[in-house]
Amino acid sequence: EDQVTQSPEALRLQEGESSSLNCSYTVSGLRGLFWYRQDPGKGPEFLFTLYSAGEEKEKERLKATLTKKESFLHITAPKPEDSATYLCAVEGRGSNYKLTFGKGTLLTVNP
């Protein structure tokens, strides 16, 4: 059974204070690891898909990295508008094309 654990559950940063969110996973053959951003009362917004260890992807102030056991979402010089819940999910090769989600990290960036 695929499992995803995200940490911390909540993170409060000052504007400009860089940090990282962690996503640890166990899966029988990774097909893809997904990062999403979710604002309150909205559906998740796609950020990145990572497929193999060593892969990195960037988008504005966000950078996602992947190892064989975990993924990091690095946030550089965050702004208040980066405040949201960040969700991590995996799709394993034995999952029949289904996602398993972590519980998310609630990020708050104070001005």
Q: Which residues bind other proteins (CB under 8 A)?
A: 4, 31-32, 34, 36, 41-46, 48-49, 51, 87, 89, 91, 96-104
Enumerate residues 6+ apart whose C-beta is below 8 A from 74. Answer: 18, 19, 20, 62, 63, 64, 65
Q: Choose between 36 and 62: whose C-beta lies nearer to other proteins.
A: 36
Closest approach, Cβ 102 to other proteins, in A, equals 6
Q: Choose between 36 and 82: whose C-beta lies nearer to other proteins.
A: 36
Q: Choose between 78 and 92: whose C-beta lies nearer to other proteins.
A: 92
Closest approach, Cβ 69 to other proteins, in A, equals 19
3-state secondary structure of 53: coil
Pairing of strands 10-14, 105-110: parallel
Q: Please choose, from the candidates 86, 76, 87, the residue with its C-alpha nearest in 3D space to the C-alpha of residue 107.
A: 86
Q: Choose between 12 and 98: whose C-beta lies nearer to other proteins.
A: 98
Cα–Cα distance, 89 to 39 (Å, whole number): 17
Closest approach, Cβ 47 to other proteins, in A, equals 8
